[in-house]
Amino acid sequence: MTAAVADAPLDRALVEEATKKSGLVWVRGTGPARPLWHVWHEGAAYLVGDGPGEQPFPAGLTDGSTAEVTVRSKDKGGRLVAWTATVTEPAPHSEEWEAAVGELRNKRLNAPDAERMPERWARECRVLRLVPGEVRTRLPDGSLAAAPLPTPATTRRPVPAGLPRLLKRGRKG
């Protein structure tokens, strides 16, 4: 369901406040949605990624494309609002790019190269601007749960041979 024209200012305010306060937004291009960290700056969400050591973007996020953005509650993690975004990619070192990178740099945690990060982002990464379009305040009733995306990371390993004995011994004592 789309927002009514009369509610547009309220919907825009909801999008802005929810996106500002949320640490992650779920972004869907042409493939599965991915959680991405972002900053809200000058009426749009800015993302940095697709480079070494940075978050991977979902398929289909290109300059001029559209994306589906779902914003979650920072407190409970539930969906608050969903909106369609127009994707633009500012040119590296342009005025818009520099302003966005300044905001992104302040929010980037645990960067190994904080001083040289903007230069690395210009060389190896992409900075995207997601401009809100159509706002959907009525969200689907279902969970929209999806299978996890494939990854080389794993935590499953065979149980060490001595572990069952150690656990059994610990219960007796």
Cα angle, residue 9 at apex, residues 45 and 42 outer, rounded to 5°? 30
How would residue 141 be classed by pLDDT, with cut points 50, 70 and 90? confident
Residue 5 pLDDT > 50, yes or no? no
* The domain made up of 5-172 is a member of CATH 1.10.357.10: no
Q: For residue 90, which amino acid is it?
A: P
CA distance 46 to 61: 13
Q: Taking the model in full, what pTM does it have?
A: 0.78
Domain boundaries, the chain: 5-172
The string of pLDDT tens digits covering residues 31-62 is 889 999 999 999 999 999 999 889 999 999 99
